[in-house]
Amino acid sequence: MYLLYFTLQYRGGSYRMRIYERPDFGGQMMEFMDDCPSVYDRFRYRDIHSCQVMDGYWIFYEHPNYRGRQYFMRPGEYRRYSDWGGYSSTVGSFRRMRDF
Count of C-beta atoms within a 10 Å radius of residue 64:
17
Contact between 95 and 35 under an 8 Å Cβ cutoff? The reply is: yes
Domains of the chain, CATH where assigned: 16-96 (2.60.20.10)
- 3-state class (DSSP) for residue 75: coil
Contact between 81 and 94 under an 8 Å Cβ cutoff? The reply is: no
What pTM does this model have? Answer: 0.84
Q: Give 51: exposed, middle or buried? Use CB within 10 Å, 0-12, 13-18, 19+.
A: buried
pLDDT tens figures, 18-69 = 999 999 999 999 999 999 999 999 988 889 999 999 999 999 999 999 999 9
CA torsion angle 32 63 6 54 (round to 10): -20
